[in-house]
Amino acid sequence: MTIETGHPVRLLVVDDDARFVEYLRILLRRARSAFDVSAVGTVDEALRGLARGTHDVCLLDYRLGDEDGLDVLRRARVRDLATPVVLLTGEQDESLELAAIHEGAQDYLNKSELEPHRLERTLLRAIARHRAERTLRERELRVAEAEARALVMATLVGLDGRWLKVPPRFCALLGYTEEELLGLRFQDITHPDDLACCVDALQQMTAGTVRSVECEKRYVRKDGGTVWVYLNSSLVADDDGTPLCLLTYVRDIGEQKQLEEQLRQAHKMQAIGQLAGGVAHDFNNLLTAILGYAQLLEEECAGIPDAERDVAEVLKAATSASALTAQLLAFSRKQLLKPEVLSVNTVIEGMTNLLSRVVGEDITIVTRLGEAVPLVEADLVQLQQMLINLASNARDAMPRGGRLVVETSTRVMADAGGPLPPGTYASIVVSDTGCGMDRATLARIFEPFFTTKEHGKGTGLGLSTVYGIVKQSGGDIACESAPGAGATFSILLPASEKASPVPSIRGTMPCACPGTILLVEDRTDVRLLARRILVRCGYTVLDTDDPDIALRTADETSVDLLLTDVVMPGMNGPELARRLRARHPDVRVMFMSGFAEHSAIAETGGAPFLSKPFTPEVLLQKVHDALGETDAQVTP
């Protein structure tokens, strides 16, 4: 047993026999713990030593001249001296030992049983027990203080329902004065939906059927609002059992009810998110085949105008569906995030039509895009979602129409100490001419589940999502508003030091590319599409939907690259890659998936990754990069 003190155990020995004290020092030098021993020989010296409070434990001899150790314990207890004490006695008297415990000693030890390890254990046990008792006392004190501050209010209610006694906190909870409440019955302020059960409970208690009742109910405040409370009512009767009144303890559980509602909402949103994520994942596989085959068909239809137009419409629809899938994945938080260098001006210009549909025809959208606004590094879908949420919030604030203004500019933060470090930022300001917000509402707008809309008209997640997106992108957001003056949201996103990506130029696929690719994908349509694209580009492709067959194939044939889906039945992609590279360390690996939530995603270890849905040029470029080829960009 050890006690963590950070220093030797400071022991105060109270014994008038100097030779015995020296004997104790010798014993303690043979203990496993280090002890710093101080010794005194009288009761007064003992009390002064204990009063200083500098010792971890005291070893107190029972015999001290005309007085004894019990006197020290009694006087120490009166003076509330807190050092734990172990009584040391040479007498075989159980009553003495029990008396020592009764007077406050933590333990006792007989001189006939002294040996180093027993002495050490007893002293350390006394310290540990004392600390545990002190912690318990402190905890009990904190509990008592908390109970004193608790919002449990005792009221008295007459048998006719009239209030006989109401505490000030209860009056404040309901918005009435004490005089007003004493002139009412509990039936007058009980919510109509809860009234029947309360009246029934009162009748049961007055009839003697039950002695007490507990329930949750709603009171109607003076201002018309409602407040949830927990009630515990007991019948007060006189000596012969005649009912006199009800003693009712009231506790405000409005916050608890709000949290329960938020939890139910969160569970609902989680269920919807799971559904949306699952649908989007399956849809990604379908879109991979649709987009891929449509692009291949586009090449076959070159020079046939009607067919070219038809295929272009298919590609357009599939691309829109891909964007919709990305939004579903973002909503369900299962999106494979793709931070990229973006121009906020370009993003806003591309969303003008969509924002117009979001806000409706009676709201005018005005864009004022600044010049040379710096590029930012963010996820495109998240940035689009942020603008959609802000537009939706503005629409709800302007039910009779109005104007939504989106402005961009460059901001340079020169001073440190604010929410953002000094530097250059892209500024996005979204303002509306809506109803505005008061100061109390403004202080909570970014809180999850907080909403000013009526029940069923909002989740309270829109602006909290915007806040999360901005913060995740390294920026900051603030809002200014006043009743009747609209609202202005100011967003700052850090400028990116990376250059704007150069768009790829579509060309023709090379006639031949070296390399053998082992393609493993359990979806037949996706696998056949990827095989066709790669074969057309000149790669040798060995494909299968079975990871075990893939391992045997790699043993029998030289493979340059393993291109595998992440989530597959039986054996996932990362496990297949580990087994294959254990046999063939030189084989390169690339993963593909449209599902970010699966635990196997975390096992890819930073290997090249292909997100579904993909187009032929993206597939070829990723394979080209994975193989480490250095010739010109590969596109179909």
CATH of the domain at 477: 3.30.565.10
Q: Per the domain annotation, does 595 fall within a domain?
A: yes
CB count within 10 Å of CB 304 equals 11
Cis status, amide bond into 613, omega within 30 of 0: yes
Residue 122 lies in a domain: yes
324, 276 contact by CB (below 8 A): no
Do residues 542 and 557 touch, judged by C-beta distance below 8 A? Answer: yes
Q: How many domains does the chain have?
A: 5
Same domain, residue pair 239 and 293:
no
* Statement to judge: residues 295 and 319 lie in one domain: yes
Distance (Å, rounded) from C-alpha 621 to C-alpha 614?
11
The residue type at 66: D
Could you tell me if 517 and 491 are in contact, meaning their C-beta atoms sit under 8 angstroms apart? no
The verdict on 449 and 538 lying in the same domain is no
If you count them, how many residues does the chain have? 636
Phi, then psi, of 584 in degrees rounded to 5: -135, 85
Could you tell me the CATH number of the domain that includes residue 556?
A: 3.40.50.2300
371 shares its domain with 295? no
Q: Cα–Cα distance between 472 and 356 in angstroms, integer?
A: 27
Q: Tell me, yes or no, whether 173 and 299 share the same domain.
A: no
The reply to whether 362 and 487 lie within a common domain is yes
> Do 88 and 213 belong to one domain?
no
Backbone angles phi, psi at 585, to 5 degrees: -60, -25
How is 201-223 classified by DSSP, letter by letter? HHHHHHTTS-SEEEEEEEEEPTT
Residues contacting 325, CB < 8 A, separation 6+: 280, 283, 284, 287, 613
Would you say residue 276 lies in a domain? yes
Q: Is 66 within the bounds of a domain?
A: yes
pLDDT < 70 regions, the chain: 1-6, 143-151, 262, 265-281, 320, 322-338, 416-418, 448-461, 499-513, 595-605, 629-636
Q: Would you state the pLDDT for residue 608?
A: 85
Are both 199 and 106 inside the same structural domain?
A: no
Write the DSSP assignment of 561-610 as a string of letters: EEEEESS-SSS-HHHHHHHHHHH-TT-EEEEEES-SSSGGGGGSTT--EE
Alpha carbon distance 439, 444 (integer Å): 9
Burial of 606 (0-12, 13-18, 19+ CB in 10 A): exposed
Q: How many CA atoms lie within 13 A of 385 on its CB side?
A: 27
Q: Tell me what pLDDT residue 69 has.
A: 80
Residues 351, 214: one domain? no
Q: Would 178 be classed as within a structural domain?
A: yes
Asked whether residue 183 is assigned to any structural domain, the reply reads yes
Query: What does the pLDDT read at residue 461?
Result: 61
What sign does the dihedral 381-386-392-395 (CA atoms) show? negative
Out of 100, 129, 147, pick the residue that ends a domain.
Answer: 147
Identify the domain boundary among 494, 529, 554.
494
Domain final residue pick, 252, 282, 311: 252
How far does CA 38 lie from the centroid of its chain?
Answer: 52
Q: Check whether residue 89 and residue 48 sit in a common domain.
A: yes
Contact (CB, 8 A) for 101 and 126? no
Check residue 501 and give its pLDDT. 56
pTM of the model: 0.40
Same domain, 124 and 176: no
* 634 domain residue, yes or no: no
Question: Does 529 share its domain with 486?
Answer: no
Question: Which pairing describes strands 9-14 and 35-40: parallel, antiparallel, or unpaired?
Answer: parallel
Record the tokens describing residue 395, joined without a space.
């629409």
Task: Show the domain range for 238.
Answer: 152-252
pLDDT at 492: 93
